[in-house]
Structure 1
Amino acid sequence: MVRDMLFSKEGNKTPLQSMVLIDTLQYMGLDHLFKEEIGSTLSSIYDNFTHQRDHGRHNLFESSLFFRLFREHGYSVSPKMLKKFIDKNGEFKLASSKDIKGLMSLYEASHLNIGEDILRKGKEFSSKHLWDSIEWLDNKHANQVKETLEHPYHMSIQRYKARRYISMHQDDERGCKDVVFELAKSEFNAVQLLHQRELNAILSWWKKAGLAQELSFVRDQPLKWYMWPLTMVPQPHHSKCRIELTKAIAFIYIIDDIFDVYGTLDELSLFTQAINKWDISAINNLPNYMKVCFNALYNVTNEIAEITLKEYGWNPINTLSKSWGKLCNAFLQEAKWFASKQIPNKDEYLRNAVTSSGVFIGLFCAFGMI
């Protein structure tokens, strides 16, 4: 019923109305329920959009919205469509400084910048005038502006934005009919329950693994680790991925603590060699606490590889094991710098930090399971 109401061809929605609807569904956390409809609608609008010679009829809100949704969904689009709002000095026209709806749309679009100067200026312009507007707006609209400034969509956790949008935009003109808001509330509660089950599974694994007891010096922060995958893969159907990814992320922190606060340089060198060999027999010469870590990491990594093999017919164990080796190599380099009191130059440090941050581990594990 809701699907027919929103995407019925008999509805004769304009492209703008359809784009506002898609944007609203995303903010309410309902877009995953209408993935096919959103995809086909955007494709149709984009085809028509690219054949239009004049986009000058669009105001700031509309131009920013079209640009953001197209770029979000992977369509080739240039921010040059915002040039009509630029004056002869290359700055945004002051005439737009009181267009709150347009400024909020521009501010959100500016977070999809891939090096374009116009979006950098758009962010500065919209941010300044939105902050200024809070002083004279009524409480409702001031709170909406502040929420946008402090928690832009592309810098926030999706479920947080859904909760805030539902509570703040019940009566907003961009809102859909009551039935859609009821669906959004119901879906939010269902996904929240799913997240609670996932977290319980992670806490159960962490307790059974006994790593916090065996490695008492490492961080014990499973909730924090869970926030990584919750942000990276928020779609409800990626539940298994979030659980397994949290386990992998836990080891980024555990191994980091081994290198930073506990292991001797000789022990760290042996541990790094064992990880690079990725052979269970290579742990014989390691101290007990490192054996515990290696065994647990070995099991979790193989578990992730088995899931990927079962789902997609590809075994990523070689890629994953080499990734852990690269991470330990980077950690060991930092340990050597510290032990020798050597201060690397900026370029040396950043080259190593790209790996020692551990982000690539999370990406490799996630890509294998989604």
Structure 2
Amino acid sequence: MYRLVKPIFFKFDPENVHHFVVKRLKWFHDFFPLGKTILRGNYDISYKGLEREVFGLKFKNPVGLAAGFDKNGEYVEALSNLGFGFIEVGTVTPLPQPGNDRPRMFRLQDDHAIINRMGFNNKGVDVMAERLRLLKNREPGIIVGGNIGKNKNTPNEDAICDYVKCFDCLFDVVDYFVVNVSSPNTPGLRALQEKEPLKELLNTLQKRNNKDNRSKPILLKIAPDLTNEQLDDIVEIVKETHIAGVIATNTTIDRNGLYAEEKLKSEMGGLSGKPLTKRSTEVIRYLAQKSGKSFPIIGVGGIHTPEDAKEKLDAGASLVQLYTGFIYEGPGLIKRICKALI
């Protein structure tokens, strides 16, 4: 079915198509007679051998949806019934912000890739928290991660306050947190990946996390463009701050080896999709080997086939996430990956 409609979707602006599709998915799930049952019947797969226990949480399968697809936590329940083992929402910021000017998302079809410079467009953490609070009352079994960031206008010296605000606001309604300091689309954000600012940020969040004998797993999302020396720092920081793990990787600013026309290649923003497959797996393997597999890694970047997912798991990932592969290959990819892992 997706193969029939995909060529039509790809004739239109990708951001417009995204909103069109997810809104109709939610309507079908919530209001169409037997909509939820139909989605589960076609896409969900239940098999005990797929279950994973990672950083203290039990996942029904290891295939999740990466952050950026559902920025405001509006579609969690519908998306989970496409077979995902977990859904990561955000990136969310303390205050609402419109993001960068449009157009800000571009398909590189020859490369099976996307360039985006969305800029953390979202409705703010209070809106997300309220939505997830209602969701938790209906579907307590859905594992939800909260990907948190800073507002564009917040200077880096005040960034910790933004992360703390998001952390506190979402603490009761998400199952794990992801600290996003690796998006290339917020000016200056990647500077927070430097060793000392990053340690200060993560230690501050861990202090908040250990209050009242309750805690949530905190993960760090890193860029694929880090050097081995910087990855060594990441391993050291994870061990020193005792966070739960790492998500590898975010989008890349590298444009080497692309087939797309020069105009598309020169668009500013982060590149995702097949061109990232090899590099993200290299980062996963390096982190796993360097750390002695002492912390879990969620592998994301260029997963378009079951083989791509298995490579990341074999390289040392405990779980994987989809985004661009989900757009290019359709929702059937989740089930195909799960079947290949049985």
User: Which TM-score applies when normalising by structure 2?
Assistant: 0.25
Report the TM-score, using the length of structure 1 for normalisation.
Answer: 0.24
Which structure's residues are more often strand, by fraction? Answer: 2
